[in-house]
Amino acid sequence: LRAAVLLKDTKLLDVKLGQLPSWLALRDFTPGGIVGALRRGHDRFYNKYINVKKGGLGGISMVLAGYVLISYIWSYSHLKHERHRKYH
């Protein structure tokens, strides 16, 4: 027999669509809760991709891709005006 998992302990990918509002109501949206969630996410990423015995390029390439994406978003307004300019 499977033990019943509390809705609070259920991962987002395992939550059914009808349970989503009640699952979101159980989340901690205080600044401390958000910082804790970001810290847990960083720790999971670091332990999975960076802090490994036999590392590859996976974690570093994800960080690099994130940096490229963020720098593109930051300079998008400048690039948008630049593409309409004519060069003769």
- The domain spans of the chain are 1-55, 56-87
Q: How far is CA 61 from the centre of its chain?
A: 15
Instruction: Find out whether 65 and 76 touch, Cβ atoms under 8 Å.
Output: no
Give CA–CA dist 7/21, Å, rounded.
Answer: 11
pTM of this prediction exceeds 0.85:
no
User: What's the sign of the alpha-carbon dihedral 39, 41, 44, 45?
Assistant: negative
Res. 88: pLDDT tops 70: no
**Is residue 1 predicted with pLDDT exceeding 50?**
no
Any idea which residue has 């205080």 for tokens? 30
